[in-house]
Every structure is written in structure tokens, then in C-alpha cells.
Structure 1
Amino acid sequence: MMRFLQTTLVALFIFSVGASSGWCAEEAPVMDVRYWDSTKGRFNYEYELLRLALEKTVEDYPAYRLSHHNENLGSSRGRRVLAEGRKINVYAAPAREKLGALEAQIHSVPIPILGGLMGYRQLIVRENALPAMATITSEDELQKLTVGQGQHWPDVAIFRRNGYPVNDSGRLSSLFSMLEQQRFDYLSLGVIEANRELAVHQPKGGNLAVVPDLYLYYPLPVVFHVSVSSDLLAERLEAGLRRALNDGSMEALFRAHFAEALAAIHQEGRRLFVLDAPLPDLDWVPQSEFPPLMRLKGADR
């Protein structure tokens, strides 16, 4: 009994000293960064860039704990979950106009992170359509075919603005089987996504293929989106990305991940159709795209 009382008194003494000094081990601030997975071709880069931005700001902000969530939420539900800020509080996606109650709950960090590369699109078709796709030399010919896109993707409005028929009734995970079932003629994905997503989602026994030398381009800046409930995180990411942009570490990481895609869009003889698309009305950080990529001949529009 005496030993129990002594132990209790010691514990109470330690607690009272800690409380009176304001110290408690569990009170050390930690910034929880809960990232929602993106497509396979982008995830590693975006996750590393997110960590880079956090590391660039370790002296000015709390310690952080970075994790990722890879549930297949879909674009619309994913943004609702992001706005709530509980399960996830940051993800990377094309910038959008801030319209409606949902978008008011999402802060878009105004620094594009993919150097304009996401605007270069490759086409996935059924293999038996490859010969016909090889003969296309004008945008008018492509506009006779229907493109498949995911529900609520910002690309849908861009295609329709430019006179392209669109089927946007599926999610990314279902678009490949829909293409095989001839629900539309081709699927358009980013040059850094097309081959990897096809490898993952090719239907069993499927015969889908990437058109090798035909590209579309439209401005499609990708940014980090953060729940407004995590406004300190949004502030931190903007500060960290500015530093990574200014010291060259962001572009170095970008080129290390996407050298193959950069070479592909610069190849001799590639066909490129440029679509018109206005940039979202955001407070863009000046010169935040990588100039060498944006000066690519045929995309200066």
C-alpha cells in the first residue's frame, strides 16, 4: 500500500510540474497532411513534391505527418470529401473556377506543379482503330469521333467548347471497359498518365492501345487543392512551392520524373492539335509554369 501511495504521489508531482510549466509531450503541434492518391503516372512525383514543399518550410511551421489515401472516390465525391477535411485534406488536380458552395470549401494553391505537361493529351483506342487514327491529319477529322472522359472532369467543357462530341458518363476506372465496349471512339488522358493507366486498367483479354504520335494540347494547370479547414497547410504549401520553384528543386524533380514524356512530345513528326481553353480565374503566382516546356512549338496559344 505504501509503495502504491509513493508511486501515485510521484506521478501527481510530475503531472503538476508539467501542467504548471505548460509542457506536455502530447501537446507538441503536428500538422496532419492527408493526401488523396492521384493517377498512377502522377502520384510519385506529386507525393514527392508535396514532401519537398513541406521540407522547405520545416523551420517556419509545425512538424508534419504525411500519409496518403488511395480509395477510388471519383472526382465529384473526392472533392466533397476533401472539402470536409477529415479523411483527406489535400490532393492535386486541374485548377477549376471557384463556383458554388462546394468550391468555396476548397482552397487552390495558385502554383501550377506540372509545368504545363498535363495539358498534353494522348489518345487510347481499340487496336483495330490504330490504322484509321494514323491517317488523321486535321482536327475536323478527329471531331467526327466521340471522346470518352470522366464525370465532372474539367476537360469535358474544353472538348465541348472546341466542338468535340463527349461521353462523360463514367469514372476513370470504368472508361477502359467502356471504350472496349464501343461506348465511344477514344479516351484522352495526359501524356504522363496514358500508358501507365492503360497497363493498370486494360480489360482482361483487352486490345486497347495508345496512339503513338498524335497529341492534343490545351492549357490545363494542375495545382494542389486543400480543404479550407486546413488553411495553415495551404499557406505552408504555397510558401514551400515558391521556394522550390525559385531554387530550381521543383523543376529538377519534374524533369527527373517526366524525361520520357518530355522527349515524346518533342519527337519529330508528331501530330499536335491545339484546343482553345481559358485559364481558371485564380490569383496565379507569376512565372510558375516552366517556360521551356510552354514554348514548345505548336502549343504557343
Structure 2
Amino acid sequence: MKNTLYKQKISFPYVSFFVLFFFFISSSSHASDIIKINRGQSEKDIRTNYTYTVLNKALIASIPKYGAFGIEVTGFEVPNHQTLKELVKGEFINVAMALTTDEWEEKSTPIQIPIRRGIFSYRLLAINTAKAEVFNNIHTLEQLKTLTVGVRKSWTTRKVLTKLGFEVADAYSYDSIFAMLDKNRFDYIPRGIHEIYDELEIRKVDLPHLMVEPRLALYIPSPFYMFVSKSTPQIAARLELGLEKMVEDGSLQSLFEQYYGAYIEKADLENRTIIHLGNPLLPSKTPLERKELWHSFSVKAQ
């Protein structure tokens, strides 16, 4: 029988549009592949708008070979530190999206196509307005290390910064880290180009002392992949197929530019001082040689 197309609208706080999820369900039975994913990290977390859209389009692209699918979003937040454990079990979630590490690649199936095309490799700094002058005098990695960086305890970035010898202050939730910076508990939070402007805009009334530091950016190579539970290998195969199709036909690049182009322009990396941190946790199998997978950012020659 032919598949029937259903659309469900899911709204997100602070967003003026709807993300459409397409559920392809056979008229005689449920979809053969049910993709189970985690919800965002808070009601103010709008970062999933892009990733859910990419997921949906990759699944649609895989229909000719793999057939019908359904998407289920968990009714509760799975904390960052529990996400990989739940993915391994495959009960509540069987697909997750995260920065890659050797642990993630060993315990689940990575789809080694960076769906954010490397934008998370460049971090801008959220700072307290009272510290603006301090950052005017920061030019090198050694100077930056004299300051305290705030990160969520469960973030992969925390592991990278700790490995590199930074002084780290921990936050235990996505929302609390911004409140702590507003109270000057530490000096800065490194945030992706695609994250920082919305994060501060959403909180400007409640947390009025936050700003984007205007001169600096950090470079930390950080591929962001889809990971699939090893208990659902067909879902991994269809996502890899769908994403490769999106790379080939240019639709992944088009989505990237649609969602993130304005942020890249606003960040103006070409006129910032880029401090290279590196990433000691970057897996050796990262496909850096596949130039078509990565956005080419305009930055100063180092």
C-alpha cells in the first residue's frame, strides 16, 4: 500500500515559526523505523530547530530505499551526562546529536558527517559587561588561561578545556550557567557562533549584564554528528544514506546557510583575533579531508 503523509506542528518557545515533522506511516501498519530523540535542554533551548530539520530531511531522503519512518521526541529531558548511556540502551532514545569524542564513537554508531558543517569549531565569548575592559587586554592563549571559564559540567567542551589546563567553573544546568555569569561567578562562557546571539537575546531582560565579547574568538575543532544506538543499525544506515544525499545535492549546505548565515556574518570572524586551542579529544577518524563537509570560514591568517 502507498504511504500516507501526516504533518504535525511542534512549536518552540521564543521562535516565530513552526518546525514541521513529517510522519510517514503506512495505512495498514506503523512505520518500520521509529526514530526516538531527546528534547532540548530547557524551554529556552532553540538549538534543536536546525538539527531536527536536518534529521527530518535526511529521513525523507532515505524513503526510496528504506520506506516509512516516524519520529518520537522524549517527553522529558535526558541530562547531557546521561544521553550516551540512554543511547546505548536504545529504549528512550535511539538517535542523539552531539560533539564527537572517542567514547561516543566507540559506544554508538557515529554518522561522520558534521551536520553543522564545523560552525561549532569557532566559539565567541559571552562575558559580563563589568569585565569588558579585562578582555580588551587578552591577545594570547596564555593570557586567556589566567581567567576562569564557565561550562556545564556535562559538556564535552569541559573535558577539552580541562585537558588543556584551563581553570574551569562548573554549572549544573543549561540555564544556570548564564545566571552565574550574570552574577560574575566566572569570567566567560565559550559559545558557538550559532548559539550565542539568541542565548543572550532571550535572556536580556532577566540577565541584563551579559554581552558578546567583540574582539576574540576561540578555535576548537568540534565536529557535531548524529549518533545511533547500535541496537538499531538500519536507522544508522538510512541516516548515513540520507545525509550523504543532502551533501551531494547541496541541501545540507543550503539549510546551513539559511539557519546560520546571518550569525556568521554578524560574528565577523575575519576581524577578530582567533585564539587556537586545538582539541586533544578529536577522534583520529574525523573526515577532515572531505572538504565538501565543512564550511569555509573567513578568518585572519595566523
Q: TM-score range by the shorter chain?
A: 0.7 to 0.9
Larger radius of gyration: 1
**SS of residue in 1 equivalent to 2:132:** helix
Aligned residues: 273
Equivalent position SS for 1:193: helix
CA distance in 1, matches of 2:291, 2:270: 28
Q: Work out the CA distance in 2 between the residues paired with 1:231 and 1:200.
A: 38
CA–CA distance in structure 1, aligned partners of residues 261 and 116 of structure 2: 12
Change (3 A) 1:80 1:198: farther
Aligned to 1:248: 250
Distance 1:268 1:281 in 2: 28
Q: 1:291 deviation in Å?
A: 4.7
- CA positional deviation for 1:188: 1.2
Q: Structure 1 residues 25 and 245, CA, compared in 2 at 3 Å: closer, same or farther?
A: closer
Match of 1:273 in 2: 275
Shift of 1:201: 4.9
Alignment partner of 2:221 out of 213, 219, 235: 219
CA-atom RMSD in angstroms: 2.7
Q: 1:74 aligns with which of 73, 79, 86?
A: 79
Q: Secondary structure at the match of 1:98?
A: helix
Match of 1:64 in 2: 69
How far has the Cα of 1:74 moved from its partner?
2.2
Residue equivalent to 2:57? 52
Bigger helix share: 1
Q: Which runs of 5+ in 2 are unaligned?
A: 1-25
- Distance 1:245-1:195 versus aligned 2 partners, 3 A rule: same
TM-score, normalised with respect to structure 1? 0.80
Q: Are 1:293 and 2:296 matched, yes or no?
A: yes
Pair 1:259-2:261 in alignment: yes
Match of 1:154 in 2: 156
Give the structure, 1 or 2, with the largest relative contact order (CA under 8 Å, sep 6 or more). 1
Deviation at 1:136, TM superposition (A): 2.0
Q: Give me the TM-score of the superposition, normalised by structure 2.
A: 0.80
Task: Provide closer, same or farther for how the CA distance between residues 124 and 292 of structure 1 changes in structure 2, counting only shifts above 3 A.
Answer: closer
1:128 aligns with 2:130: yes
The corresponding residue for 2:200 is: 198
8 Å contact 1:121–1:216 — kept in the other structure?
Answer: yes
* Cα contact 2:247–2:292 (8 A) shared by 1: no
Counterpart amino acid of residue 95 in structure 2: V
